Amino acid sequence: MSEEKSLNFIEEIIENDLNSGKHDFIITRFPPEPNGYLHMGHAKSICLNFGLTQKYKGYTNLRFDDTNPVTEETEYVESIKNDIRWLGFDWKNELYASDYFEELYHFAIKLIQKGLAYVDDSTSEEIARQKGTPTQPGTDSPYRNRSVEENLALFQDMRAGKYKDGEKVLRAKVDMAHTNMHMRDPIIYRIKHAHHHRTGDAWCIYPMYDFAHGQSDAIEQVTHSICTLEFVPHRALYDWLIEKLEIYPSRQYEFARLNMTYTVMSKRKLLQLVNEGFVSGWDDPRMPTLSGVRRRGYTPESIRDFCDRIGVAKRDNLIDVGLLEFCVREHLNKVAQRRMVVFDPVKVIITNYPEGATEMVETENNPEDEGAGKRTMPFSREILIEQEDFMENPPKKYFRLAPGQMVRLKSAYIIKCDEVVKDASGKITELRCSYIPESRSGSDTSGINVKGTLHWVSASHAVPVEVRLYDRLFKVEDVSDAEGDFKEHLNPDSLQVLPAVYAEPSLAQATLTDRFQFLRKGYFILDPDTTADKLVFNRTVTLRDTWAKQ
């Protein structure tokens, strides 16, 4: 069955290029700067770039845009590679803009020789002033008309380390009156006496983004250089440099970056959350970083599905985080092992069940997956159920436990509530119930039908575990649109820790890679904070709940 999916605008461009014979195959690249951790926005770009070359003949390079030595570190390189692999993609070549420093230097020489670049002694303030404003043309630098020979000598001296940081820059000679600010003689090289994470102290001049990115694309013969919308104004310069340098004509295409409700997606803001202690780190499960969502329990499959569903276009968007959660649930529903865990217990005494007896009841690990098999769990006279599963004065459509009302304990027996025991303050201390012996799950001859089925654990067999429940990081849907500092909109209740809840015994064997659904509670994954004597579970996402809404 070929259910043809419509193409996004980039796929259309590629199909046209392939059909017209412009290209026989395509090359894309994912170009992170190694100065931070990857987030969901990067996931969109990764899925796009790698997805394209899986769909069409070609390959994708991983290229680190490491042209600014003061912000970049090897630590980030490793985490970025790890995140991409985790997402399920593999690159053809691992490349670095810094590999091209020598070649880039010669591109600059060529530009100088063509009279299209000059060394400028102006200060950064002077250069900013020369740029003019979007509505007013700029003015020429007094150094704009230096001779080719002088520029060549000066630029060589820059490389040789004869000048201090900021003393001189190399500028492309384009047009100081251009309506596009980026064309007003952009700086293409600056002096930075700094240690580079890969080239060490070999260089003290470093190319700017605009003189590295397109050139690296050209060197790698990238056919489709895909980036986000904020680079649209750079494209004119990208093309100008390719033309003047007479290098491989890579083409840049821009798409709208991902924004999601109730979170922020900019490296700057995420950094603030980490540095100012609003979250525990880059991998805090509330963070939209890949390390965060991984720890939260989101699966790579669900993230890829999400990226597929949100599409690729050029209009600004704000994606409902609910869509991501839908994708996560959809995948986890198929793979998560079911377990029973009681968060906020009330004791149930089954008065007609023999004291001291224990029997094992069998229950399926995953009703969605026959192959997941079954397990057993102990049933006894004293059971724990959720407090919220009992109501003394229930509303009409409440079909959990209530005085005189019957429910099934999942995979065990039907019980009936006979008596509510309270302490002096009126707090319910236990529920005295009777069970129907013929209603045993799997061999029920009672003929009784109940509406409600509850999860439960045997009080004496339950193991204590910690669960961490997460809610949206921010209180407002559109954080970037909200008044004031974005941190004022942080949700104070985004993390709720329950230090000791009651888990069925089999959960003691949980490992970091297991995915669980705690019945009626949501999907959970073990957190790395787990120790030998304390299991810690993160709630990945709740189950859909059509009852709670009423």
Listed ranges 46-54, 243-251, 348-356, 363-371: which one lies at the site for RNA (CB under 7 A):
363-371
| Backbone phi and psi for residue 18, each to the nearest 5 degrees, phi listed first | -75, -45
Count of all residues that appear for the chain in the document: 550
Binding to RNA by residue 488, rule CB under 7 A?
Answer: no
- Residue 33 designated active-site: yes
Helices (H), 38-174: 40-55, 74-87, 101-113, 124-130, 148-160
Q: Is 267 a catalytic residue?
A: yes
Query: Among residues 165 and 344, whose Cβ is nearest to RNA?
Result: 165
Residue 50: C-alpha distances to residues 448, 483, 527 (Å): 56, 37, 30
Active-site entry in 144, 198, 267, 347: 267
- Kind and range of the H or E run holding 304: helix 300-310
Using CB under 7 A, which of 115, 142, 161, 166 touches RNA?
Answer: 166
Fill in the amino acid letter for 125: E
Considering only 152, 398, 416, 482, the residue that binds RNA (CB under 7 A) is 398
Which of 455, 489, 515, 539 is in the footprint of RNA by CB under 7 A? 455
Q: Which helix (H) or strand (E) holds 337?
A: strand 337-339
Residue 143 touching RNA (CB under 7 A): no
Closest to RNA by CB, 314 vs 461, is: 314
Among positions 300-359, residues that touch RNA (CB under 7 A) are: 309-320, 322-323, 326, 329-330, 333, 338
Q: What are the two backbone dihedrals, phi and then psi, of residue 382, each rounded to the nearest 5 degrees?
A: -110, 120
Contact between 157 and RNA by CB under 7 A: the answer reads: no
547: contact with RNA by CB under 7 A: yes
Cα–Cα distances (Å) from 297 to 130, 265, 329, 537, in that order, read: 51, 19, 11, 10
**Position 441 contacts RNA (CB under 7 A):** yes
Q: Which of 29, 39, 42, 131 binds RNA (CB under 7 A)?
A: 131
6/393 with CB nearer RNA: 6
Cβ neighbourhood burial of 160 (10 Å; 0-12, 13-18, 19+): exposed
371 binds RNA (CB under 7 A): no
Least separation in angstroms between residue 251's CB and RNA is 15
Among the listed residues 116, 152, 256, 495, the single contact to RNA using CB under 7 A: 256
Q: Is residue 12 at the binding interface for RNA, with CB under 7 A as the rule?
A: yes
Q: Is the Cβ of residue 76 or residue 284 nearer to RNA in the bound state?
A: 76
CB 363 within 8 A of CB 402: no
438 binds RNA (CB under 7 A): no
Amino acid at 485: D
- Provide the residue type at 41 as one letter: G
Dist CA 29 CA 64 (whole Å): 10
CB 194 within 8 A of CB 205: no
Number of residues located near RNA, criterion CB under 7 A: 93
In angstroms, give the least distance from the CB of 533 to RNA: 28
Q: Which 49-108 positions form the footprint of RNA (CB under 7 A)?
A: 65, 67-68, 71
Rounded to 5 degrees, what angle do the CA atoms 365, 366, 372 make?
Answer: 70
Q: Which residues are catalytic?
A: 33, 257, 267
